[in-house]
Amino acid sequence: MATEQNEPRPTNSDLSPKPMAYPTSEEDMAKKPDWDLSNYKPAGKLTGKVALITGGDSGIGRAVALAFAMEGADVAVLYHSNAEDAAVVGQAVQAQGRKFLAIQADVRSASECREAVRRTHAELGGFNILVNNAAFQTGYEHFETIPEENIHRTFDTNIKGYIFMAQAAIPFMKEGDSIINTGSIAGLVGNPHQVDYASTKGAIHTFTKSLAAYLGEKKIRVNAVLPGPIWTPLIPGTMLKEDLAKFGDETMLGRPGQPEELAPSYVYFASQDGSYSTGSLLEVTGGMPKTN
């Protein structure tokens, strides 16, 4: 029997991250995130399912979209502004023989969330899995200088958007369906340069547990994946230069993670493999924070 080979992963020094303008397109990154799941072994775990992924055009959402398609799901992605990135995802999903739908929308709008869910159900023929993944973040050296506008945008996108999407999706969902939220290690340990962002992620963790309790009787499961430092377009587009220079170094594995290393966790929660998991917060952090 052939032995599966470990895929080499880049360290921070390999990536040599430099600040980029926000919003950042994945296609413009010199060192692109690894999302092709070349070593992933699908097993038809989501055959016949329909999934909607917010922020599914790049980063973690892009890898999750591909993983779901490889497992047999039809996939809709909600993107804010980057149609080019969304088209790349569409090509990857359709290459797996699955249906794909790209929806431009803003999760800060409850009405746009409702329309995205309605379109997914109508055009893909069902609605089984919601992945709340869209996020906004910025880095600031001084907490006192965070603009009020950015605080509102961070909370409106990262927690209100999750609530709006769940409110829209639940009427279309049934027993065995799944909501998966993207949290963050920052919501557990904090981040001195992203106080507002870390606060929203802590709120997402509590939202996950509370919504799981609410939906328990309906047997709709709600869980969260908590990434550590993952190489996505948000990183060079929003982080301070000093934080970029050590991004991922603080983990026990000594490197950033790649989006495809997160995707199987979403498959677990979306499939029957996770049938007894609800209200769970799964850390995929490379061992962060590192114990000194």
DSSP state of 247: T
Residue with tokens 């430092």: 229
**Eight-state DSSP code of residue 24:** P
Annotated catalytic residue, options 22, 40, 140, 197 = 197
Our answer to whether residue 79 is catalytic in this structure is no
* 130: β partners: 52, 179
Q: What are phi and psi of 116, to 5 degrees?
A: -65, -45
What is the DSSP secondary-structure string of 106-146?
A: -TT-HHHHHHHHHHHHHHHS---EEEE--------S-GGG-
CB count in 10 Å sphere of residue 19 = 15
Q: Mention every residue, 6+ apart, whose C-beta is less than 8 A from residue 208.
A: 181, 183, 222, 223, 224, 279, 281
Give whole-number Cα distances, 157 to 154, 182, 193, 201, in Å.
5, 12, 19, 11
Report the residue count for the chain. 292
Mind telling me the catalytic residues?
Answer: 197
